[in-house]
A and B are shown apart, each in its own frame.
Chain A
Amino acid sequence: DQQVKQNSPSLSVQEGRISILNCDYTNSMFDYFLWYKKYPAEGPTFLISISSIKDKNEDGRFTVFLNKSAKHLSLHIVPSQPGDSAVYFCAARLLSGNTPLVFGKGTRLSVIA
């Protein structure tokens, strides 16, 4: 049973527009969420994170929004650039205790010039 779901396997966006990647989770005990970006032939790279005490975290062009009641988070990229084309993974974990990250299956973002 998938605890972290990324229901869109792929997304295509025009350069300069906003990219919105979505992630849903089922375990209400998750308290910390991360986004990773992965280019082909490379390992995932940490992008941005958010804890459950916040509903928004921003880092440059990247903003993550968390809606705890809906068990939903999203990653906004504004403006989108061709170099953002990659697979984006959403991950979640419990804030306390020694628990591993639980990853979604990823969304492939293509930014078209």
Chain B
Amino acid sequence: DGGITQSPKYLFRKEGQNVTLSCEQNLNHDAMYWYRQDPGQGLRLIYYSQIVNDFQKGDIAEGYSVSREKKESFPLTVTSAQKNPTAFYLCASSSPPNYGYTFGSGTRLTVV
């Protein structure tokens, strides 16, 4: 079945470390997205990519980086510059806008 796979489901990061969250889709979708979710704040867009080798900053890109070397993959790196990284991270993909977004199951990142 087609879908989006996020890994790992849970991730722990020490202060000052960079960590990378994986997002892979086999839906042949052109666009991919990363959202951050905090309690009571809904979804906030971090980065998005419409095509391979191109990506755009979202509303809260500071302290994050991405790459889009393959259509299927859109990894997110949470850098040490992100001062409050503890959150639930969601990856999504889409094709034409009337199809909506397909979401992965999320990665919960905790700073220890």
A, B from the same assembly = no
Query: A residues engaging B (CB < 8 A)?
Result: none
